[in-house]
Amino acid sequence: MITRFAPLALITFLCTPAAAQEAPGDYILLLDEQNRPLVGSYRIGPDVKMTIQGREDGLPRNPVYLDRAFFPTREAEMLAFYNARHAYSSDPAAIDVGGEMRIVDTETLQPPLFKDQKPEREKALKVKVSARLAFEASGYKLVGKAYTVEGAELGDEDRRLGDFFHVETFDIVLSAPASRKIAAVEIGKALSSSDFEALFVERTSPIPDFTKCITEKRKTADYKALAEKQKANVDAFLAKNFPEGQVFWADTERYEANFAMNIYSLCPN
């Protein structure tokens, strides 16, 4: 839980952003007081990472691939068949505390999913930065900012809208309510992107039998071989091609390699 704040200048001086030091295979988890992941990030390549958002009482949300967390310029989600590039009329990173900015997000699909689908669409957003916070968790000095994103239309359910907290130290974004539960940080290595997802699900699953299956699978030689294949194939492809707009699920062989490693296919019941 965020309970103690320190002078921002001091923490900024002491803290080198961990995101800049990440190597492929590294993961970061922000944990609550029960040691359950609130959000996690796995570094696939220099310009792409997988992020997973936890849920309070259930399995986590689907993994999302990003180049950066705070207003990404590349974003993709396999299960939603979503793959897009974002360009912003103004840079949201330039907003000072207490300030706001109206921006237009030009979203270009890579490529359109359907023949008659427009490849480009625009979304007007209003971004407000309400506070900059500095705190410590597990010995790490964390710096971040609280911000709100509003849409131009009332009743909009776009998941980009709402109250958020950007942990700049790790370049991780999570909802404002979740950010208030941060109690610890865990940094480690995973065998591949799906192994990181398995690790995350194992720590958050409310289903004992499913959790047991994940734990047992992750210990086997077959599982480790699948993870190594995924890292050498799927993850290596993303690391090289994601910045240019390509994703692995456009290729049948890579999609099948990823599916074979997915924890929901390895533990279907």
pLDDT in tens, 36-81: 999 999 999 999 999 999 998 889 999 999 999 999 999 999 999 8
pLDDT at 191 over 90: yes
pLDDT at 14 over 70: no
d(CA 34, CA 126): 35
| pLDDT tens column, 194-237 | 999 999 999 999 999 999 999 999 999 999 999 999 999 999 99
- Calculate mean pLDDT across residues 85-103: 96
Which has the closest alpha carbon to 123: 149, 162, 98, 99? 149
Confidence band (pLDDT; 50, 70, 90) for 18?
very low
Confidence band (pLDDT; 50, 70, 90) for 156?
low
Sign of CA dihedral 222, 228, 231, 237: negative
d(CA 84, CA 88): 13
- What is the value of pTM for the model shown? 0.90
| Whole-number pLDDT of residue 2 | 41
d(CA 229, CA 258): 9
d(CA 229, CA 172): 27
Confidence band (pLDDT; 50, 70, 90) for 155?
low
